[in-house]
């Protein structure tokens, strides 16, 4: 959802390795586009929750999106539905942004880091920190230690 709204590939400019895994466990998440409707941004944030029991199930996602869709079909005037008010506001922001972008910006190729891998694969990183949400994301001295100790002794973390 966020990739479609932001039109950006997550973590495209960095290697997809144990250091990124540590950062994600410590709360790093892709930035949600400022012009994303708040209801969708909130839904994305719920999907990224560090605690699996706080994430919506596929069924809950389906029901939420279906409700928004049905509300749009059943309402004579979408002006009263929160999601449509937010989408309208976001569309206006996107239109302004689009009109202000040069043709060069619109056609630029997205370059990804050679170690940014977007295919499913098993990652067997050991001793990752306990996951936290982005609102509590901070790199502190022990986060730095984790990264340094992983780099100093990588065989300890890979089988």
How far apart are alpha carbons 116 and 13 in whole angstroms? 7
Q: Residue 126 falls within a domain, yes or no? A: no
Q: Residue 140 falls within a domain, yes or no? A: no
pLDDT mean values, one per 10 residues, the chain (159 residues): 86 93 94 86 94 96 88 65 78 77 57 87 89 60 36 37
Q: Residue 5 falls within a domain, yes or no? A: yes
Q: Residue 134 falls within a domain, yes or no? A: no
Domains contained in the chain, number: 1
Q: Which domain holds residue 67?
A: 1-100
How far apart are alpha carbons 31 and 19 in whole angstroms? 18
CA distances to 21, 99, 107 from 56, in Å: 22, 36, 36
């Amino acid at each position: 959802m966020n990739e479609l709204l932001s039109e950006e590939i997550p973590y495209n400019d960095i290697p997809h390795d144990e250091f990124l895994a540590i950062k994600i466990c410590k709360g790093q998440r892709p930035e949600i586009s400022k012009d994303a409707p708040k209801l969708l941004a909130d839904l994305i944030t719920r999907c990224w929750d560090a605690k699996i029991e706080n994430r919506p199930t596929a069924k809950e996602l389906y029901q939420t999106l279906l409700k928004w869709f049905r509300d749009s079909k059943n309402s004579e005037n979408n002006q009263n539905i929160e999601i449509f008010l937010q989408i309208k506001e976001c569309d206006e922001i996107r239109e302004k942004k689009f009109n202000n972008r040069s043709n060069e910006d619109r056609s630029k190729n997205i370059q990804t880091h050679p170690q940014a891998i977007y295919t499913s694969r098993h990652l067997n990183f050991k001793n990752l920190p306990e996951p936290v949400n982005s609102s509590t994301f901070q790199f502190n001295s022990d986060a730095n230690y984790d990264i340094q100790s992983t780099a100093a002794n990588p065989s300890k973390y890979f089988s």
